[in-house]
Each structure stands twice: as structure tokens, then as C-alpha cells.
Amino acid sequence: MRVTTGTLDVEGATLHYRVVERDHESSTGELPSLLLLQGGDGDADGLTALTAPLAERFRVISYDRRGLSRSRIRHPGGPVDLTVHARDAAAVAAALTDAPALVFGGSLGALLGLELLCRHPQTVAVLVAHEPPATQFLPDAERAAATARQAHVEDVFAAQGLPAAMATFMAMAGIEPTDREDDVELPRPDPARAANLRFFLTHDAPAVREHRLDVAALTAHADRVVPAAGRSSAAGFPHHCALALGRALGQPVALFPGGHNGYILRPRAFAARLVSVLETARPCP
């Protein structure tokens, strides 16, 4: 496999990106591009175990969201919200692909993918949106409860710090660390990851909680959306958001191995399922 990294200047930030693809010598034609949009503190390197099998079928693009790892905010000013992240994702896609990209987003990344489709539909061929925290599609009482749980994570972070906030977040999302493939090791805490998590909880988590998608714009492109949910995450509200999104768009929900972050804890099985879903949604060479 060939790995290429680089930077892209966008409005107010410099983004770090990573492209993984087969060596030209072994390639049997140009492969479609697959843009990965991570959630939480995930950066361009965060899905390496998932990327390896995907790169046999796709040219896999990932990047650090602004504020995370190597993507620097040059001119702090307006809020970092989902519209800004969608603009960044569109810029990455435009710079690194010649055609609309296949897109996979998980958690915040799934909500970001939906916003990308709403605002920059020319960049997206198919979006697999795995458990987006799109609470606006939930029934009123369930939506209020989910929003309160999101705010509670932010309150715990402010009052008790990072470890307590992440424990609360995992319970909210229905994440079970033992639900993983045998050779998968849990991410270890380090200063860089702690900095990413602090940025996420300070900026991105409130932006997610407050964000509302343009339903009319999204519905206009409903046939490009594959709502997705984890098989073992029914206790978490993002799972229910995925089901509600499917109902709102009239699209079947694809079930994936593992829970809310199955793409991290069950990467081999998750990659195989993602390839199957994408091939069904849009045949690939």
C-alpha cells in the first residue's frame, strides 16, 4: 500500500490529510475514492486498522478535523461548528478527488457527512452514516432526553474532568469496550489524544448538540444516504437516531458489527460489511 500525507490550506485553518491506496503496479484500474469522517477525537490516523482492508477496494482519504492533531486553526474567530467542518470536508474532497466521493461517517462524522450532503452535494456520491447523533429526528420526549444526556457529558467534563466525561459519554453512546475483535487493543491515553478530547468536548460536542440539519435539502438527496447502526448499540441514543433517520428519509438501515464505534473495535468485520454496503449502493470495480 502507498500512503501519502499532506496539508491543505482552507479558510482559517490548515488541514492535515492522509491518502492510502494500492501501489500503481498492483492496481487494475483507478479505484473510487472513499472519504472517512471520524467522530470524537478521531484524526487521520485513527482508523488505520479499518483502512488497510478498505484500501484493497478504494482510495481511502482521511484527515484531521480542524483543531485536532496536526490541523491547525490559524485565525480563531467564529465558532467551529458543523457548517465549518462540512466546508472543510468539501475542500478536502475537491482537492483530492476528481469525482463525487463515497463517504463513510461515524458518530459526529456521520452528522458531518449529512451536513456535507446538504450543503455540498456535488462532493458526495453515497454516504454511509453510522449512528449520527441527529436528535432532531427523534420523537419529542426521546429527543429531549437525548439532548439532556449530551449536555450532561459537557457538564461532567467541566466539573470533573476528562476521564469522568469520557466514561459518561461511553455510557450515553452504548459503547462496550469488551465488544471487540480479539487482537484489537483499546486506544491508550496520551497527551495528544487528551488534547483532542478536550477540543472535542469544548467545541465539537456542544456544536453537535445544537446542530440542526436542513431536512428539505437532505430529503432531496435521500437516495444517496445509507443510514447505519451497530448491532450491539441499541442502548445508546445514536442508534435510535439512525433508525429515526431511516424512517424520515424512507431508507433502510444497514446494521454493522459491533456498537457505536464498531469501526474501531471490530475493524475487519466492519470493513467487510462497509464494502458490501457500498457495492450495493454503488457498484465498484
- Asked if 235 contacts 175 with a C-beta cutoff of 8 angstroms, the reply is no
Task: Please report the pLDDT score of residue 125 as a whole number.
Answer: 97
Nearest to 150 by CA among 107, 118, 183, 186: 107
Task: Please report the pLDDT score of residue 29 as a whole number.
Answer: 61
For residue 154, the enclosing domain spans 2-281
Which positions ≥6 away from 160 have C-beta within 8 Å?
none
Averages of pLDDT over runs of 10 residues in the chain (285 residues) are: 96 97 66 96 92 95 97 84 97 97 98 98 98 98 97 98 96 92 86 95 96 98 97 96 98 97 96 96 60
The phi and psi torsions of 221 (rounded to 5 degrees) equal -120, 25
Task: Please report the pLDDT score of residue 25 as a whole number.
Answer: 47
- Asked if 228 contacts 260 with a C-beta cutoff of 8 angstroms, the reply is no
Q: What is the number of domains present in the chain?
A: 1
Total residues belonging to the chain: 285
Task: Please report the pLDDT score of residue 98 as a whole number.
Answer: 93
Task: Please report the pLDDT score of residue 245 as a whole number.
Answer: 98
- Asked if 231 contacts 256 with a C-beta cutoff of 8 angstroms, the reply is yes
> Residue 31 sits in a domain of what CATH number?
3.40.50.1820
Task: Please report the pLDDT score of residue 242 as a whole number.
Answer: 98
